[in-house]
Amino acid sequence: MTQIRPFTLAIPQSQIDDLNARIDLTRWPEKEAVEDWSQGTPLEALRDLVGYWRGGYDWRRCEARLNALGQFVTEIDGLDIHFLHVRSPHADALPLIITHGWPGSVIEFMGVIEELANPADGAQAFHVVAPSLPGFGFSGKPVHTGWGVEKIARAWGELMTRLGYARWVAQGGDWGSAVTTSIGVQQVAGCAGIHLNMPIGRPEPDDLANPSPAELKALGALQHYQEWDSGYSTQQRTRPQTVGYGLVDSPVGLAGWIFEKMWAWTDNAGSPYDALSRDQILDNLMLYWLPATGASSARLYWESFGSFAPQQVTLPVAVSAFPKEILPTPRKWAERNFPNLVHWGDMDKGGHFAAWEQPEAFLRELRTAFALMR
């Protein structure tokens, strides 16, 4: 039950053929009534992405890359957990578990894993563990309630123990931030500190009475999220099964649902491709389409949406604040929850998908932050 099992991706061609057939049979809606993204993913933009998906995209390239990195599965509390595991050639490397969010996947870390594991300076090396959240990617899909953030945090501790890591650090953004924060709150055995690129903080009455520029930005972002950007989360935290039917059955429906966030949540000048390539976006999309996780990934919102709340963490905490984060937290708010805040980095560029969008800056931040916890 505790065995670490090698995992090799070899998607049958019949699944690729089925995807292509479904794309060919798409019944498209009419064009939106505006000339921007304010009504959702524009028809022309989605047709362009799906056209490339159908005629130019090469899944086998991504499949080979994942297999080359090293994929594994282990069963924890009755559920298979899929993870990438890259051991550094440097024996004294620091073990690191790094967690993605929605609508991301381990694909977010493809541009940083190898450099984390084998940098030019061996003193900065990490043994990297990148699990797929339960119900995401090639992890198992919970069939009972209970797999919320707190349980996932404990499962990550069990995973690190099984891999032989007695002392380790953790990193995350989005749901990965919630899981990583929970690791710190619960003081999961072995964790020496955490790094977040989406810390959660809330204003107090004094902040609202006389807000600083950083607080005004955060309050404006929160209002924008609530008014214009939170529909997906309301649906997924209340009726994940209902939305899942369309996301599992229709590749174009899934693409439209996720592609919008590639526009809304990245640091771009109007196009998602300012931040991410079509191949990057589709690699990530395939980790939702192939294992049919449209419903199972949405259920994490039903289980744990309330976990996005300020919590006290006494372990060492480091934060990297990217300017286009969807819910920015000013340092003042974060310091209330993190009395042992050892590093705060204000980034010049980047959005919600930090490692994916700005891999070099992300690498620098992790090295700086975790040097204080080695």
Helix (H, G, I), strand (E, B) or coil at 35: coil
Q: Among this protein's residues, is 90 annotated catalytic?
A: no
pLDDT at position 147: 98
pLDDT at position 2: 84
Strand 94-99 and strand 126-131: the pairing is: parallel
For residue 5, the tally of other CB atoms under 10 A from its CB is 10
The per-residue pLDDT string of the chain (374 residues; one tens digit each, 9 = 90 and over) reads 689 999 999 999 999 999 999 999 999 999 999 999 999 999 999 999 999 999 999 999 999 999 999 999 999 999 999 999 999 999 899 999 999 999 999 999 999 999 999 999 999 999 999 999 999 999 999 999 999 999 999 999 999 999 999 999 999 999 999 999 999 999 999 999 999 999 999 999 999 999 999 999 999 999 999 999 999 999 999 999 999 999 999 999 999 999 999 999 999 999 999 999 999 999 999 999 999 999 999 999 999 999 999 999 999 999 999 999 999 999 999 999 999 999 999 999 999 999 999 999 999 999 999 999 99
Residue among 183, 194, 148, 162 nearest 305 (CA): 148
pTM exceeds 0.85 for this model: yes
Domains, the chain, ordered by start: 41-371 (3.40.50.1820)
* Residue of 100, 127, 343, 352 with catalytic role: 352
Residue among 334, 308, 304 nearest 150 (CA): 304
Helix, strand, coil percentages (3-state) for the chain, rounded to 5, are: 50, 15, 40
Q: Among this protein's residues, is 301 annotated catalytic?
A: yes
Secondary structure (DSSP) of 63-84: HHHHHHH-EEEEEETTEEEEEE
Q: SS3 letters for 225-270?
A: HHHHHCHHHHHHHHCHHHHHHHHHHCHHHHHHHHHHHHHHCCCCCC
pLDDT at position 1: 66
Q: Among this protein's residues, is 343 annotated catalytic?
A: no
* Residue of 85, 100, 301, 343 with catalytic role: 301
CA angle, corner 75, sides to 72 and 78, nearest 5?
A: 155
Inter-residue contact 182 to 310 (CB < 8 Å)? no
Inter-residue contact 82 to 71 (CB < 8 Å)? yes
Query: Which pair of tokens denotes residue 333?
Result: 């708010």
* Residue of 85, 174, 232, 273 with catalytic role: 174
Secondary structure (DSSP) of 263-325: HHSS--SSSGGGTS-HHHHHHHHHHHHTTT-HHHHHHHHHHHGGG-S-----S-EEEEE-TB-
d(CA 338, CA 318): 9
For residue 6, the tally of other CB atoms under 10 A from its CB is 10
